[in-house]
Amino acid sequence: MSKLTFARAINAGLRKSLENDPKVVLMGEDIGALGGVFRVTDGLQKDFGKHRVVDTPLAESAIIGTAVGLAYRGYRPVCEIQFDGFIYPAFDQIVSQVAKMHYRTQGRVKMPITIRVPFGGGIGSPEHHSESPEAYFTHTSGLRVISVSNPQDAYTMIQQAIASDDPVLYFEPKRRYHDKGEVDETADLSTALSMEKARVVTPGSDVTLVTYGPLVKTANDAAMAAADEGVSVEVIDLRSLAPIDFQAVEASVRKTGRLVITHEAAQSGGLGAEIAASITERCFNYLESAPVRITGFDIPYPYSKLEMHHLPDLDRILDGVDRALGRGNSLSGLEG
């Protein structure tokens, strides 16, 4: 066991993958000598060489498009997109090629591509540096999408993503990069929890609170605050955003009868909508109240002086918990 920051944990996972499989190749902008703008690939080019840790020209579509070609040739490319907001130039290659190639070729050509995306807000950045684009990809059949919330999962799941024969979008909560946590670097990957599975991170009985990535910590804090008020909140870290482990959420909601979902992405068409809809379908008769979504607003990510108003925080989550419980809340008295 060692205490690692989030960024170091991913770095360690990447290192392990590079060591274990000569077909693993890292590519992206500034990932070499600089080690990436967040230092996640720090030292890897030095240790594995310029052919395995490749500084590419500045073109996202080409990063993903050449990764498709490398995958065709039997490689396992791990692409870094420098910030969430820079993934859109590569959207076509991701949606029309990476996601569809296996289906298109009737399983003959595999796309074991991992796309690492530092995502989410809260670090005071200018435009395009704080987006939460995950719903674009969870709506794209053929992709797997995961997000990690702690250094141990970051370490394990980056290796699982790279080992997966399916393409994986790996969303890294950039505002947690410096958070530290215990990481067991010796743990056996084959016995690790499947990357498709959610995890109950705080058990509880009154309300189910579902989230992922950067807000898992906030949700846990909210659960602690709620406990002080005598409300028992069960926090579920989804880990996998596509597919979502609905069985885990369902099991919890059958118990609590109440659901709150929180994410930073805009509300309309965000993951919260899918979770609310699916859970309502699956356990309508168990629900005591409508699922509540506490999310970013339907606005472009705002300039940083206002971002704390946009991002769900402990208070807003607790207000959502109150809503789910039918207790007094900011919308009390409002109809519809």
Partner 1 sequence: MRSTVLTDEPGQDAYKAPNPGISAASPRRTGGDLVQLISPEGERISHPEFDLWVSDVTDEQLCSLYEDMMVIRRIDAEATALQRQGELALWPPLLGQEASQIGAGRALRDDDFVFPSYRDNGVAYCRGVEPTDLVRAWRGNASSGWDPYRHNIATQQIIIGSQSLHATGYAMGIQHDGADSVAVALFGDGATSEGDVNEAMVFAASFQVPVVFICQNNHWAISEPVRIQSHIQIADRASGFGIPSMRVDGNDVLAVLAVTRIALDRARKGGGPTFIEAVTYRMGPHTTADDPTRYRDANELEDWAAKDPIARLKALLRTKGLLTEEVEAKTQAKADEVARNLRAGVINMPDPAPLDLFKHVYSTPNSWIERQKDHYSRYLESFSGSTQEGAL
Ligand X SMILES: Cc1ncc(C[n+]2csc(CCOP(=O)(O)OP(=O)(O)O)c2C)c(N)n1
Residues that bind a copy of itself in the complex, under the rule CB under 8 A: 61, 85, 88-89, 91-92, 95-96, 99-100, 103-104, 127-128, 135-136, 138-139, 141-142, 242-243, 250, 265-266, 268-274, 276-278, 280-284, 287, 289-293, 297-300, 336
Strands 168-173 and 144-147: parallel
Instruction: Please say which residue, 13 or 112, places its beta carbon nearer to partner 1.
Output: 112
Closest distance to ligand X from the beta carbon of 84 (Å): 11
Closest distance to ligand X from the beta carbon of 29 (Å): 5
Instruction: Please say which residue, 65 or 89, places its beta carbon nearer to ligand X.
Output: 89
Whole-angstrom CA distances from 212 to 192, 223, 237, 245 are 19, 15, 5, 12
Given a contact cutoff of 8 angstroms between Cβ atoms, the answer to whether 110 and 70 are in contact is no
Given a contact cutoff of 8 angstroms between Cβ atoms, the answer to whether 200 and 148 are in contact is no
Instruction: Please say which residue, 160 or 202, places its beta carbon nearer to partner 1.
Output: 160
Neighbours of 316 (CB within 10 A): 17
- Please identify which of the residues 129, 139, 178, 309 carries the catalytic annotation: 129
Instruction: Please say which residue, 299 or 305, places its beta carbon nearer to a copy of itself.
Output: 299
Instruction: Please say which residue, 24 or 183, places its beta carbon nearer to partner 1.
Output: 24
Nearest-CA neighbor of 318 among 169, 238, 206? 206
Neighbours of 205 (CB within 10 A): 13
Q: Give the residue, chosen from 48, 75, 86, 246, that forms a contact with ligand X under the rule CB under 6 A.
A: 86
Which partner from the list ligand X, a copy of itself, partner 1, none does 221 bind, CB cut-off 5 to 8 Å by kind? none
Given a contact cutoff of 8 angstroms between Cβ atoms, the answer to whether 189 and 161 are in contact is no
Given a contact cutoff of 8 angstroms between Cβ atoms, the answer to whether 76 and 27 are in contact is no
Which partner from the list ligand X, a copy of itself, partner 1, none does 305 bind, CB cut-off 5 to 8 Å by kind? partner 1
Closest distance to ligand X from the beta carbon of 33 (Å): 14
Closest distance to ligand X from the beta carbon of 54 (Å): 15
Q: Three-state DSSP class for 328?
A: coil
82 binds ligand X (CB under 6 A): yes
Closest distance to partner 1 from the beta carbon of 69 (Å): 2
Which partner from the list ligand X, partner 1, a copy of itself, none does 283 bind, CB cut-off 5 to 8 Å by kind? a copy of itself
Distance separating alpha carbons of residues 44 and 205, to the nearest angstrom: 45
Dihedral in degrees, nearest 10, Cα atoms 241, 294, 85, 83: -70
Which partner from the list partner 1, a copy of itself, ligand X, none does 105 bind, CB cut-off 5 to 8 Å by kind? partner 1
The two tokens of residue 204 are 């509880």
Whole-angstrom CA distances from 252 to 86, 203, 233 are 36, 9, 10
Closest distance to ligand X from the beta carbon of 218 (Å): 27
In the residue annotation, 263 being an active-site residue is answered as: no
Nearest-CA neighbor of 25 among 89, 85, 68? 68
Given a contact cutoff of 8 angstroms between Cβ atoms, the answer to whether 175 and 214 are in contact is yes
Q: Give the residue, chosen from 29, 134, 172, 274, that forms a contact with ligand X under the rule CB under 6 A.
A: 29
Instruction: Please say which residue, 86 or 246, places its beta carbon nearer to ligand X.
Output: 86
Which span (81-89, 187-195, 286-294, 323-331) binds ligand X, by CB under 6 A?
81-89
Q: Annotated catalytic sites, by residue?
A: 129
